[in-house]
Structure 1
Amino acid sequence: MTSTLLPRRRIGTSDLETSALSLGSWHIFDRMDFADAVAMVRYALDRGVNLFDVGVYGLPGKPPVFTDVLWGSIMRAVGVPRDAYLASVKLWIEGFGEEGFKPQLDNAFLRTGLDRADLVILGDLRRDDVRLEDLVDDLAGLTDAGLIRAWGVNNWSASNIRELRRIAAERGVAGPQIAQLKYSLARRSIPDGEPFAELFGAGFSMQSSDVLEGGILAGRTAPTREIGRDPGSVREAIVATVPGIVELAEKLGTTAAQLAVAFTLSHPANVTTLVGATRLEQVEQNIGALDLLERVGADELRSLVEPFWVDRGIVDPEGP
């Protein structure tokens, strides 16, 4: 069992400090025994995990989901004080209307038992009829009301993030502090590209997500649950790299999953890596990735995994 206590890093220029690993909720807690989930979350908190990603992930016409409701019950069962952790809540551009994000936020609070969100992450920008100025103004209002403390975006382009930051600066309000980006051994083109390097150099932060490609990069090449989108249509090519990843992990005395998590921690702008776990042993392995990174070294690790970079030259570094 690992004894590593996770370090904390500041999110952008906000007053939030996040643990190097954060725990997600998408398709997680509704696949677990409740007592096991409580034990897993308690262990994660004891080892220093302080950021939890919570979202209302149901879609019209799909079966109802309850993983966020379960998360709220888990946190109450653990008995952790509210000021001992950070809650990151997803907000969806598709649902942004005349009342702004407030209805979505109220619904998230109802389902989770939260009374505020430390961080909100705006989902993918798929609408062209929403003014970025309106988003910035609405989020500034939610901040002033004490309902959120900071905000960021999920898989937005570098140019749209720069525009958000420009608008916020003109208005004298806080802009986006962090981007949740797909980042893994296989998907590196956007976070490792020049457009985002410029943002990171200006103090912007990253949260790595989809780091195991739905379990594929952990060696489970035929996942049975829903996994994220496939930018560049490279998933088959990713599956083809798995034997090499497993072989390298064995040479390093680790597992493919731990190697994949350790890689994300090597990015200088990555303040936290978002992981999903349905077993306590997986949390232990994820935390142990910090020991692997320290043992091998960031530069050496990044050199060793270079052959597994699948989306190079396929996905535009600017982002979607």
Structure 2
Amino acid sequence: MEFSGQVPERRLGADGPWVPALALGSWHTWDRMDRDEAADLVRTAVGRGARLFDVAHYDSGPHAEGAVTDVLFGEAVRAAGIERDRYLLCGKLWLWDYPAASFAEQLKVALGRIGTARADYVVAGDFLGETDLRAVVTDIAELVRAGRFTAWGVNNWSADDIGFACRFAADEGLVPPTFAQLKYSLARRSVPEGAPFAALCAREGLALQASDVLEGGILAGRLEPRRRIGADPGGIRDRIRAAYPEVERAAARFEATPAQLAIAYCLTHPAAANVLVGVSGLRQFEENLGALALLERHGGELRDAVSRLWLDRGVVDPGASWGTDAPSTPRT
């Protein structure tokens, strides 16, 4: 299925900025292309309206892997001749070494590696309940006040912890998070579609940014990815592999690819602002754009078509943090 138009935009939270519905991630992506192909991808993505790039410096906690994908992204942007005001940049602030590694210093290093002076948005990384959330919100709000970026979100936090951050920000007159970046796919729905997150979205106007939507490529047919992929909350990855033929059959009903079905499904979530996809070439990006045509033509039918593929139901707690099996400790 092909999509010939411009990528539409959605609001990143009730009071957040407008962003493209399809955005590009960076984990093990830009390091799988040569220089010319990376530049072509950046140029094409911006030209089609997919101008938001989620780019992180993977240097701490489980991500201390010496990756240079962020550096390569910056080189691709320069090779493509794309001026900074033509694209949106979302960075990450890691909590693993915080506060020893301050957010201001992390941001300075991350932006320096890309070769730019500013981000548009940031995501506060995985929270495991061992950090002072008051300090996190205060320090991020200070960077917003200083003009380092304009909006922020969280990555795989529990609904309780996000709610605490929103309440604390409101009480202190600080800028609250406007979106949550969550692991979400045809198979992994318990947290994004669970009652705790739904209530939070309704109460705080929070948006969903879906990540890991293709399960590292498994839901696109690459059943044994050769690169490192995300965590496996609930231990259901083998079940996802086994269910892939059903994904193929559902996609064929709509004359779409499995990847297009997986992306379009996530965009049917009522709070979804956009989907992050990781691509390793221009052809893959253009295929993923077809998800938008599928959504336009069959959006109302997609959920019923894949209703049996919810594989973490009853396995992962809907109130969980980081997709783990148990919720984090509530902050009151």
* TM-score normalised by structure 1 residue count: 0.96
Aligned length: 318
Contact kept? 1:38, 1:78, Cα under 8 Å? yes
Q: Deviations over 1:189-230 (max 9, x none)?
A: 111111111121131001000000000011111111100001
Aligned equivalents of 2:100 and 2:236: distance in 1? 38
Following superposition, the deviation at residue 59 of structure 1 comes to: 4.6
Q: Secondary structure at the match of 2:303?
A: helix
What one-letter code is carried by the residue in structure 1 that aligns with 2:221?
G
Aligned equivalents of 1:72 and 1:261: distance in 2? 26
Contact kept? 1:95, 1:101, Cα under 8 Å? no
Q: Deviations over 1:11-43 (max 9, x none)?
A: 114452110001011100111111001111111
2:222 is aligned, of 220, 223, 226, to 220
What's 1:52 paired with?
53
* 1:37 counterpart = 2:34: no
Counterparts of residues 231-270 of structure 1 (less than 5 Å): 231-270=233-272
Aligned equivalents of 1:244 and 1:222: distance in 2? 17
Contact kept? 1:153, 1:176, Cα under 8 Å? yes
Aligned equivalents of 2:34 and 2:114: distance in 1? 18
The 4+ residue runs of structure 1 with deviation greater than 4 A are 59-63
Contact kept? 2:185, 2:212, Cα under 8 Å? yes
What one-letter code is carried by the residue in structure 1 that aligns with 2:104?
K
What one-letter code is carried by the residue in structure 2 that aligns with 1:72?
G
Counterparts of residues 162-201 of structure 1 (less than 5 Å): 162-201=163-202
What's 2:81 paired with?
79
Over 3 Å counting, the alpha-carbon distance change for 1:63 and 1:8 in structure 2 is closer
What one-letter code is carried by the residue in structure 2 that aligns with 1:207?
Q
* TM-score normalised by structure 2 residue count: 0.92
Aligned equivalents of 1:295 and 1:17: distance in 2? 23
Contact kept? 2:95, 2:127, Cα under 8 Å? yes
Q: Secondary structure at the match of 1:192?
A: coil
Following superposition, the deviation at residue 60 of structure 1 comes to: 7.3
Contact kept? 1:4, 1:288, Cα under 8 Å? no
Q: Secondary structure at the match of 2:120?
A: strand
Aligned equivalents of 1:23 and 1:2: distance in 2? 17
Aligned equivalents of 1:46 and 1:72: distance in 2? 17
Aligned equivalents of 1:81 and 1:159: distance in 2? 39
Following superposition, the deviation at residue 268 of structure 1 comes to: 1.4
Aligned equivalents of 2:89 and 2:60: distance in 1? 22
What one-letter code is carried by the residue in structure 1 that aligns with 2:225?
P
Contact kept? 1:22, 1:275, Cα under 8 Å? yes
Q: Secondary structure at the match of 2:135?
A: helix
Contact kept? 1:93, 1:127, Cα under 8 Å? no
Over 3 Å counting, the alpha-carbon distance change for 1:238 and 1:60 in structure 2 is closer
What one-letter code is carried by the residue in structure 1 that aligns with 2:220?
A
> RMSD of aligned C-alpha atoms?
1.5
What's 1:316 paired with?
317
Gaps of 5+ in 1: none
Contact kept? 1:91, 1:120, Cα under 8 Å? yes
Aligned equivalents of 1:148 and 1:163: distance in 2? 22
Identity of aligned residues (%): 49
Contact kept? 1:178, 1:206, Cα under 8 Å? yes
Q: Deviations over 1:89-114 (max 9, x none)?
A: 01110121256311111110110112
Aligned equivalents of 2:27 and 2:125: distance in 1? 13
* 1:27 counterpart = 2:24: no
Following superposition, the deviation at residue 251 of structure 1 comes to: 2.5
* 1:210 counterpart = 2:229: no
What one-letter code is carried by the residue in structure 1 that aligns with 2:139?
D
- Please identify, of 58-67 and 118-127, the stretch whose mean Cα deviation from structure 2 is larger: 58-67
* 1:100 counterpart = 2:102: yes
Aligned equivalents of 1:92 and 1:205: distance in 2? 21
2:127 is aligned, of 125, 128, 135, to 125
Aligned equivalents of 1:258 and 1:235: distance in 2? 20
Aligned equivalents of 1:10 and 1:312: distance in 2? 28
* 1:302 counterpart = 2:303: yes
Q: Secondary structure at the match of 2:235?
A: coil
What one-letter code is carried by the residue in structure 2 that aligns with 1:301?
L
What's 2:3 paired with?
2
